[in-house]
Structure 1
């Protein structure tokens, strides 16, 4: 089944469907090869994972003024983190929860590169008109509001509309990740490695994280991606920690070690599917997406943040996009790799928690930059990524 199946607004265009058996072939072969489950057990597990997913089709809430899809075969997936702030270490609880994380993932049509663009939750925007589930209009904001206001008033559908109306980028699919369910994903991976240069002590929220390179689990991992009162104390630097952490998760989730541990694979899939609300129809489509990331290779996956500057005049504690953000959105629309100006402040998925590059990654970043500054791969060219000062500001090694 194709990753695009069920996408609204594509004028009926569909790529050839892929049988489910080919999508999950690697998983099935791994499980049977280890003799851990029978064919019946695989069917039961597959149905369980499908049952875990919360499937919500929001196409009727996206309006009839959506952007055109310029390139056939590329894929834009909007990922939002739903943080209810439950638990003893809830942070920013005054916000009442909502989406503190918004990342637009772009996968190229040829599946040779991918990148994630983080949008700071404090970005000042004029929220567009949105729609309730029954298509009742939700009035546009009267003035500037923070980016995550869209999720608070209209959920993922309103956030998708906000992306499309303000950037011109067509969103194919969306995924909402429950932050509390995220803990189970980390534990299923037997922890995720991080490198913390100095002890993190946030007395306000009861968070203490010891310095060093080590595996972190569950609540500790959630605290790590949530905490703001470290580094320079801004949401922008929290984004860098989140990007680095997600890179480590991707590395472990698609690595050979995972397929060598089918019991671990089952735990991860169970935890992951329990934490997701999405318009992907089933686990087969999500598995296809995972295979695409795996095929691209970590050295051709990058994370960047929308160019920004502080602007507290529009909203308290806010930031606003710089003009060059238009160039970034155009790269997505045209299915082009990131250019050096954006990669210079980016994070490669092939970067280890301590800032070094994985041995399996191409030292050049997987591609050679072209004369116009563009790269053949998401992390190619001379984009050096975060410098030492930038990593220190984000409390990264």
Structure 2
């Protein structure tokens, strides 16, 4: 039908009709894409949320400290990160303690109220502490003990007992907790294409099946587990060296995750989120993927220069050889956290995210400012710190 002068329907073959039809098709495609994308995003969020395990330990915690900083638009956040050292199934390290589970990695992360700095304090698993009474999920009370290994709290009472122990020892209220297992750790590393580290010399440990080349290199999930678990052959400081390497690895991994390259590769980012959420046990207060994303954005907004990792001040125990003891200086560190203050003198020797290979800043000395080792430096020119890091 031909269009009349009054503006009737345009003829099917006219330019006016085609222009109208083209816009209708374009709008239709756009609406379809919005619907598909929206449904896909909704399905993805549901999938990621379903991955996460939630655990509420509030009923098991007693005599909890209060947050000393109450004013301002935001409060500081103290988050206890616990790496589960289960030796069962895919998490198995070796035949030793095959049926045990301990907190192999424990880091108290502090995020300042102004969101301008963040630092993590590693708590040595072999540190001797006075563990308080702990309440199990069924109401059973596990009596406290004096001068026992720190990570035994997780063994006898799980994450709730570890949280109770940290709160009683430090006076810092744990607002949130995150548990992660080693199988998920491997998946996260592989999802982002590996994590860069600097290894000062080759490791050849046939007893544990750990073999690592020297130099700056990108480790896959299995190699990364070998790197963070190696105790004797990579450092002269045993578990302390391993803890320092864990700090450096986490810093490098964090730097890589928030890098521009990562954000430009949605498939890797989604794989990382899938692996991460499947590995996490969090408190209900953290909610789901949206809340975790907002928290991650707050950390990313701080900048790598202002994310640091330190260790609680310690000395070797004189009463139990091979163990460690927190020094009186530790109380000053807890006071700074409770008052939401910078690390100050405790930042000496800190591991900084901006200094790690994954950040593009290159490896530094033992975590602090120092001469950088270029990624292509010959292996025989790499200098090692006592902890097994590149100087």
TM-score category by the smaller chain? 0.7 to 0.9
CA RMSD of aligned residues (A): 2.7
Match of 1:71 among 52, 69, 72: 69
Mean alpha-carbon deviation: is it higher for 93-102 or for 224-233? 93-102
Gaps of 5+ in 1: 1-33, 360-378
Instruction: Write the mapping of 1:223-302 to structure 2, written as runs, cut at 5 A.
Output: 223-229=226-232, 230-279=234-283, 280-302=286-308
Task: Tell me, in whole angstroms, the C-alpha distance in 2 between the residues paired with 1:384 and 1:59.
Answer: 41
Q: Which runs of 4+ in 1 moved over 6 A?
A: 385-390
2:86 paired residue number: 84
Match of 2:330 among 322, 325, 334: 325
Contact 2:256–2:358 under 8 Å retained in 1: no
Instruction: Write the mapping of 1:106-117 to structure 2, written as runs, cut at 5 A.
Output: 106-117=110-121
Cα 1:151–1:386 change in 2 (3 A) is farther
1:392 paired residue number: 385
Contact 2:91–2:182 under 8 Å retained in 1: no
**CA apart distance, 1:357:** 3.7
**CA apart distance, 1:355:** 11
Task: Tell me, in whole angstroms, the C-alpha distance in 1 between the residues paired with 2:95 and 2:318.
Answer: 18
Superposed CA deviations along residues 231-264 of structure 1, whole A, max 9, x for unmatched, are 1151111011001100111111112222211111
Contact 2:86–2:92 under 8 Å retained in 1: no
Instruction: Write the mapping of 1:34-73 to structure 2, written as runs, cut at 5 A.
Output: 38-63=37-62, 65-72=63-70, 73=75
Task: Tell me, in whole angstroms, the C-alpha distance in 2 between the residues paired with 1:100 and 1:288.
Answer: 27
Instruction: Write the mapping of 1:169-184 to structure 2, written as runs, cut at 5 A.
Output: 169-184=172-187
Contact 1:240–1:394 under 8 Å retained in 2: yes
- If you compute each CA radius of gyration, which structure gives the higher value, 1 or 2? 2
Instruction: Write the mapping of 1:89-238 to structure 2, written as runs, cut at 5 A.
Output: 90=93, 93-94=96-97, 96-141=100-145, 143-229=146-232, 230-238=234-242
Gaps of 5+ in 2: 1-32, 374-381
Cα 1:355–1:258 change in 2 (3 A) is closer
Cα 1:331–1:247 change in 2 (3 A) is same
Q: Under a length normalisation based on structure 1, what TM-score does the superposition of the two structures give? A: 0.80
Aligned residues: 339
Contact 1:89–1:207 under 8 Å retained in 2: no
2:310 paired residue number: 304
Q: Under a length normalisation based on structure 2, what TM-score does the superposition of the two structures give? A: 0.81
Task: Tell me, in whole angstroms, the C-alpha distance in 1 between the residues paired with 2:186 and 2:57.
Answer: 26
